[in-house]
Chain A
Amino acid sequence: MPMDEGMRAGRRATARGPGRPGPRRFLILAPAVALLAALVTACGALTPGSAADPGRPRTVPSSTAVPDEDITLKLTFADAPAMVDALVAAFHRKHPRITIEPRYTQFADYVKSIKLTMASDNAPDLAQYAVGMDDIAARGDILELAPYRDAYRWRAKLPASALDQLSGSRLTGPGRGAAGKRLYGVPAGLSMTGIYYDKELARRAGITRPPRTLAEFERQLAAVKRAGMTPLGVGALDSGGLHLWAALLNNAMPPAEYRRWIKGERGATIETARALAATRKLAEWSRKGYFDDSAIGTTQNDSTGQFVRGRSVFLVNGNWAAGQLAQAMGKKAGFFLMPGARPGARAVSSGFSVSYAVSSRTAHPQAAGAFLDFLTSAEAQKIVSDNGFLPTDEDAVPVPRGVLGEVARAHRRVTADDGMNHFPDFAAPAMLDPLRAGVQKLMAGRTTPEAFLGSLQDVWDERYGGGGR
């Protein structure tokens, strides 16, 4: 519209000669402006937004008994519609009086609207957990689930690190409440990143087994490079670069220290000597040409497609790609975790769960709790596994064959070692872009490892500050 405005102004001036708004015009404009100002201050009168309602419950009730009545729960989610439909149907067969109505939203829109959705008075009863849920928990829009965890004995049924990832951050209050750690969601299925490799191409470079140490992996990368092939496929246009950096970091930084940083614990920092070493390693690999030149301009999906077509020997990606790779490459595809410094080191990887939280505005917390507990059942775990997620209960499903089995076995090791770390962007909602852009700059040699870590810590400081709560 500014164009129209300007054009009109120009024409007016020519029609009337050099026109300056006369005093009469001002007489009309002044009240109009005053009126506008009044309107703006009246409807906004106040500061934008609203404070949390102190009257709302913050914790689920102690009783888990589902009242015997017809109940309908709304569920908003962004991942795996087919899996959610199957879970909901299976749950309904078990609890015929409880109906769950799933509502699907595309992931990108979901994470942008979830805060407002959960803050509204007609919030859905159940919601998929996403980055930024800490803010929602801190505001009291989702319920703290620790009483149900104890009543349903979820600790015995679910991996410790999966529960730990859902225990909120410093913003939701001190890490340990009276009844131990807090809990804001229950996982249905899990995800995990790692490295795929093309067994045939690897053999051509003289590689016959997955590396057991980081040094061995580096020798393999160099061997592939010497053989004239691209060693490592990375889709760094979106999140592939971040997964690679996290994989190196996981093995360099003690998990406890890393998790303190993710959860915003006071005094935590990413600017440590070990994180720096991991970051330097990534820059060094880039300098040595271990990635394709175009990695920065390639999406994760495209890098996976290139790997299938034999354009790289290794590929950084997550378990979500395993189904596609198993189908396209069959026995050729293999999987391993980024190895640590020593053989037999603690198995650490990055991952998160598709998990669900309960709105504090729900009228039926017990029914919601029954659904969350159903997620841990063998029946639900079968559905979860069939839809490409890693089960929270590994014994509920048989280990699959081929590359899917290699992923499952690696995941068992990580679970046994309590080695599942958050993805690094969970440290703050604003962390994703600096990570993506920062790794791209590292790969292109446009920033130093020190400056990269500094920029991440700046985002962290802005969120968790010095003071905190």
Chain B
Amino acid sequence: MSRGGRTARRPSGVRRVRGRRRGWLFVLPALAVYLTFAVLPALHTAYLSLFEWDGVTLGRWAGLDNYRRVATDPALRGSVVNALVLVVFFSFLPVVAGLVTTALLARHRRRGMAVWRLLFMLPQVVPLVAVGVTWRWLYGDDGLINETLGGIGLGGWARAWLGDFDWALVAVGLVGTWVLSGLCMMLFLSGVHKVDPQLYEAARLDGAGPVREFVSVTLPQLRGELAVALTVTTVAALAGFDIVYVTTGGGPGEETAVPGLLVYRLAFSDGKVGLASALGVVLSVLILAVVYVINRLARPERTEA
């Protein structure tokens, strides 16, 4: 949506309007695809959420009943809370890990940074289902983690991590941390790469130590990357499905049930398409709200621009 571009130079208002219309023409193909495959299904889901429907037989108008149920059913509400807990593991910890790594590596440019970035990226390359299966082995009764604990004399700590009511959510969360930390590190390291070295030099001349340098130079320069990292990881936490589905299936009890899992289960196993849609809508709204806040916070102050 350029503002008329070249045609804007001409004084004729008619031309300008026509130019703008032509602009829409360019957007149309992409817009049509977007509307058909993203917007319409979303609206259709919202529409379905107003029905009590098993997916096959004639649905029954339910109004806002499904939303009321999402708000009051402890299992559904609990799943949202679990997802928020996972934000800590999927988003907060990876971002912190990424920043620490960056702080350690940013000051000294070395050759071979690209190799490190590639290594950090590796967990992203593995399909999440494979990640889940692998971690299920690691966490297993005879898995590597318990063996290690036993080996260093902490055998008393060994447990079936994914079946433990207190630890299952943490265990699942740490899988997310493992997957997403690499992404954050990679983002930040490449972000630091494009920071003008003169800024660091100037800071050093002004007598800034490593901490000051990080806070005053690196962090502000990484604002954009931070926003991307937070957005991607938060969405991964809130809309997550694969890792939980593969590792615990929501158990033990409902300790690790997340909305994504319940949407799937309600719609396809329990025949409650309306309720599943309502939960999906609530989840989307929640995600949009969080993403909006993140981008709001990450927006550069106007004085800088």
Contact = CB atoms under 8 A, between A and B. Distances in A.
Do A and B assemble together?
yes
B280 interface: no
Contact of A36 (B40, B61, B300): B40
Contacts of B272: 430
Interface in A19-54: 36-37, 39-41, 44, 47-52
Contacts of B139: 297
B253 A1 contact: no
Given A49-B56, A50-B57, A433 B250 contact: yes
Contacts of A302: 140-141
24 contacts: A1-B38, A2-B291, A3-B232, A6-B231, A6-B292, A10-B295, A14-B300, A14-B302, A37-B43, A40-B47, A49-B54, A49-B59, A50-B56, A112-B268, A115-B54, A115-B55, A296-B251, A297-B159, A297-B162, A429-B269, A430-B270, A430-B271, A440-B252, A444-B253
Contact of B61 (A44, A47, A295): A47
Contact of A441 (B43, B252, B268): B252
3 A-B pairs with the lowest CB-CB distances in the bound complex, closest first: A297-B163, A297-B160, A294-B160
Interface string A294-306: 1111100010001
Contact of A430 (B56, B254, B269, B295): B269
Bin the interface of chain A by size: 35 or more
A1 B139 CA distance: 33
Interface in B238-255: 248-254
B39 interface: yes
Given A40-B44, A440-B252, A115 B58 contact: no
B265 interface: yes
A13 B160 CA distance: 50
Contacts of A48: 48, 51, 53, 59, 273
Contacts of A293: 159-160
Contact of A10 (B59, B227, B268): B227
B43 A294 contact: no
Nearest to B301: A14
A467 B165 CA distance: 38
Interface string A356-380: 0000000000000000000000000
Contacts of A116: 55-56
Contact of B58 (A50, A135, A447): A50
A183 B288 CA distance: 50
B251 to A, nearest CB: 6
Given A3-B232, A430-B270, A14 B299 contact: yes
Contacts of A37: 43
A7 interface: yes
Given A135-B54, A135-B271, A6 B291 contact: yes
Nearest to A52: B57
A119 interface: yes
Bin the interface of chain B by size: 35 or more
Contact of A47 (B58, B231, B305): B58
A147 interface: no
A440 B90 CA distance: 26
Contacts of A52: 57
Nearest to A16: B3
B283 to A, nearest CB: 12
B228 interface: yes
Nearest to A116: B56
B161 interface: yes
A359 to B, nearest CB: 14
A436 B256 CA distance: 14
Contacts of B162: 237, 297
Interface string B267-295: 01111110000000000000110011011
A237 B163 contact: yes
Contact of B57 (A139, A236, A295, A432): A139
Nearest to B20: A24
A132 B47 CA distance: 25
Given A2-B287, A115-B54, A115-B55, A441 B253 contact: yes
A10 B299 contact: yes
Contact of B298 (A10, A294, A429, A447): A10
Nearest to B299: A10
